[in-house]
Structure 1
Amino acid sequence: MSAYIEKLKCVKCGSEYHTEQVNYYCEPCGFNEGILDVCYDYDEVLKVLNPLKLKDNKDNSMWRYLPMLPIEKPELIPQLKVGWTPLYQAPRLSAELGIDKCWIKDEGRNPTASFKDRASAVGVVKALEKNAARITCASTGNAASSLAGFSAAVGMPATIFVPERAPEAKVAQLLVYGAQVFSVKGTYDEAWELCMQASAEFGWYNRNCAINPYLIEGKKTVSLEIVEQFMDIGTLPDWVVVSVGDGCTIGGVWKGLWEMHRLGFIDRLPKILGVQAEGCKPFWQAWQNDGKLAACEANTIADSIAVGHPRNFSKGYRSVTESGGAFITVTDQEILNSINQLARKAGVFGEPAGVAGVAGVKQAVKQGIIHPSESVAIIITGNGLKDIKSAIQAAGKPISISPDVEEVRKALENNLGGNMI
């Protein structure tokens, strides 16, 4: 195992395991509740991973944090560059949202254009370390396309289960990368259950982040980067904002922040705002109901967070309660509006789930959760090209004209009131 991992610990019963004792989860607690935490010897990590060491590190990718990643054989790391995505300050967006400062972390700049590349990069390495013949996952789209890309990069066959509502652009990515794709006539939750059964039946390595503790370790690197990037900027933001589906992403975001605080990189922790769609809000409902989870139907344009039964509820919910943050919901129309708002005020094109955080900040300010004097960093989890149908719905259609300058003039008069400058 990684030289710095101390143990795996069940979030439900507290049982502790060595990495060779268990593959995915605490079996007595089951895969729905027996989620494992990867625990490190942080005193030892600090000897090799500290501000001075990182300053001299020329590896501008997620692998610069290797001592805090569960990798036994670094030579198996794929060649695709993951991480160290840009962090932009967006003053015009912050003014429109009604807050002091706003930064955008653009995860659409990863190899397959989503945040999920961080998890898949770790997943394929772990599969190779296990000498697996095939790797699998269930996904609403981004985790699937990400896994397909990284499997192709290392030459490992991948079988992927997606609900039939998955956006065409994401399914196209899967097929281009050569993955075996099953489009399941049902919901994401049904695709997930089928994937779990197939993985057990055929012995495939299971990349499903909710039950595989190593995948969140990849996801947490976004926060390790955010902390490093803000060390150059100055003050850490008051809030880190992220959309929420099955709970793995927000759980990873919080773990990365917590670890950087434990290692002494930062002296305080930001609060976490978890944003859900109004049509699929199990975390928000639990937030209103003393932490009691009740599965719900998933009805939202934001396919990447259309998860009615979150499989990593414990870590996702804990991220908000421990940080003193909040969950909030936004409508599909607010999400669509945020596609345009983010693009036009910050120059970043995000897919619906990716921009949900923008809508969430606006709503949180209205509700008094975020004060106008506070600052936020919003993680944009996926590129807008992932879902062109929604982008067109948000932005509208072009003006159709003949190749005649007079038609240009008329169009300008009709659309701009005669103002041609």
Structure 2
Amino acid sequence: MFAIGFRCGRCGAAYGLEEVRYVCPRDGAEGTLDVVYDEAALRRALTPEVLRRHSDRSMWRYGPLLPVRSETLDRLGDAGLVQTVGWTPLIRAVRTERRLGLRGVYVKDDGRNPTGSFKDRASALVALKAIEAGAAVVTTASSGNAAAALAGMAAALGLRTVIFVPASAPAAKVAQLLIYGARVYLVEGSYDQAFDLTLAAAEAFGWYCRNTAYNPFTREGKKTAAYEIWEQLGGRAPDRVFVAVGDGNILTGLWKGFRDLAALGWIERVPALMGVQAAGAAPLARAWAEGHAAVVPVVPQTLADSIAVGRPRDATFALRAVRETGGAFLTVSDEEILAALRTLAREVGVFAEPSAAAAFAGLERAAREGRVGPDETVVVMSTGSGLKDIPAAVRAAGEPRRIPADPGAALGRLAADLGEG
């Protein structure tokens, strides 16, 4: 393993891997940690040629770039669900390119992961770290996807899970939790309140906590998407990446992955990161626009439940990622999100949940406002399957029409409806 320690994103303090478990002791929950690697040793051990010869088609092909012991990775053969996370398709959106007047638009469809979301990447890695920590129970707070991912990965590895989700979480996501055998608690409050409750419960009962950003290994799992984009584009980085943002951890994971590639000398620069927030839950976008280093919490109001976060837990790194890459934060309305949900399905063939469609809505807004150059290559992260939130899909697409079964009556109605005859 090439991971050698942690560094606090707030104060810069350095720690050994065994010194801390979650966040910086000096800064508390505001001091999220970044995993530090021996870059010189990595450059000697790993080259693009070595990677190209690797037969594995999952996130685990990047084992040397992950903070997991080799003996822990050996357990993957007994946990098929965990073993198959990652290497999701990168789809060329040709019709979108033509409509927006752009050279290259790609959609990374992480709804194809085993439990249907990008969060499988983080949860798979955290589940392995829980095993290394000797934990029997893993817990997390989630609006649904992270919890479903953790429940599935933990079940495959024989770990027990205790999950806290807002009572407003979509029924499909709660059903996933239950079918994987998790003990589920519906919290009568927001995601942010569920997050704080999970921290208290983990401390009280000695459970291993997966909470986004609070656990530094969540970012490490998510960064593997950047490696895949680089490989799937033929060994080059895109110019821009659009990603929906709640806590900010997916965005910072992508930043970490591209920074790793730059440190290895495999790319010349890190892509501009474009964080997209729902207008009703946009504390990071506001802080970025006003030039602030910290966010002011808000009460989230959006149909995109996966990014309905009022107090982003990875705010420090997220703001830095956007500023240092020359990116931007954008906001989109719920109406734009629903429209993007339809367009993404009908132009690209990707069925996304609202939070995933928000990134596509962000691309459309940026293109209209001239924030994307016509010769740029752009990747849009689709982070969750539309099957996660069927009511939102129906709201976007409309209800189907009913007709009688009798051909005589049905054909006349069809002709009138379709303008035929």
Per the normalisation by structure 2, the TM-score is 0.96
1:76 partner letter: R
Q: Secondary structure at the match of 2:380?
A: strand
Unaligned runs of 5+ in 2: none
Could you tell me how far apart the structure 2 residues matched to 1:49 and 1:169 are? Answer: 41
Tell me, yes or no, if the aligned pair for 2:340 and 2:357 is still in contact at 8 Å.
yes
Aligned-pair CA distance for 1:412: 3.2
Tell me, yes or no, if the aligned pair for 2:255 and 2:270 is still in contact at 8 Å.
no
Instruction: Please say which of residues 256-265 and 181-190 is displaced more in the overlay.
Output: 256-265
Could you tell me how far apart the structure 2 residues matched to 1:411 and 1:378 are? Answer: 41
1:114 partner letter: S
2:114 partner letter: P
Could you tell me how far apart the structure 2 residues matched to 1:159 and 1:310 are? Answer: 22
Aligned-pair CA distance for 1:355: 1.1
1:52 partner letter: E
Could you tell me how far apart the structure 2 residues matched to 1:383 and 1:108 are? Answer: 4
Deviation per residue, 1:345-377 (Å, 9 max, x gap): 111100000111110011111222223343311
Aligned-pair CA distance for 1:49: 2.0
Could you tell me how far apart the structure 2 residues matched to 1:407 and 1:318 are? Answer: 63
1:203 — aligned with what?
A: 206
1:149 — aligned with what?
A: 152
1:290 — aligned with what?
A: 291
Could you tell me how far apart the structure 2 residues matched to 1:387 and 1:97 are? Answer: 28
2:62 partner letter: Y
Deviation per residue, 1:187-243 (Å, 9 max, x gap): 0001101001000110000001221111110000000110011126xx642211110
Tell me, yes or no, if the aligned pair for 1:351 and 1:382 is still in contact at 8 Å.
yes
Unaligned runs of 5+ in 1: none
Tell me, yes or no, if the aligned pair for 1:100 and 1:373 is still in contact at 8 Å.
yes
Aligned-pair CA distance for 1:312: 0.8
Deviation per residue, 1:320-347 (Å, 9 max, x gap): 1111000001011111111110111111
Q: Secondary structure at the match of 1:231?
A: coil
1:255 — aligned with what?
A: 256
1:11 partner letter: G
1:361 matched to 2:363: yes
Q: Secondary structure at the match of 1:228?
A: helix
User: Structure 1 vs Structure 2: percent identity of aligned residues?
Assistant: 47
Aligned-pair CA distance for 1:159: 0.3
Q: Secondary structure at the match of 1:259?
A: helix
2:68 — aligned with what?
A: 71
1:65 partner letter: Y
1:213 matched to 2:212: no
Aligned-pair CA distance for 1:407: 3.8
2:22 — aligned with what?
A: 24
Q: Secondary structure at the match of 2:344?
A: helix
Alignment of 1:371-382 (within 5 A): 371-382=373-384
Describe the shift of the 1:414–1:280 C-alpha distance in structure 2 as closer, same or farther (beyond 3 A): farther
Describe the shift of the 1:223–1:407 C-alpha distance in structure 2 as closer, same or farther (beyond 3 A): farther
2:396 — aligned with what?
A: 394
1:306 — aligned with what?
A: 308
Instruction: Please say which of residues 401-410 and 309-318 is displaced more in the overlay.
Output: 401-410
Could you tell me how far apart the structure 1 residues matched to 2:252 and 2:134 are? Answer: 28
Could you tell me how far apart the structure 2 residues matched to 1:274 and 1:98 are? Answer: 21
1:126 matched to 2:125: no
Tell me, yes or no, if the aligned pair for 1:352 and 1:390 is still in contact at 8 Å.
yes
1:343 partner letter: A
Instruction: Please say which of residues 400-409 and 195-204 is displaced more in the overlay.
Output: 400-409
Could you tell me how far apart the structure 2 residues matched to 1:294 and 1:282 are? Answer: 6
Q: Secondary structure at the match of 2:41?
A: helix
Per the normalisation by structure 1, the TM-score is 0.96
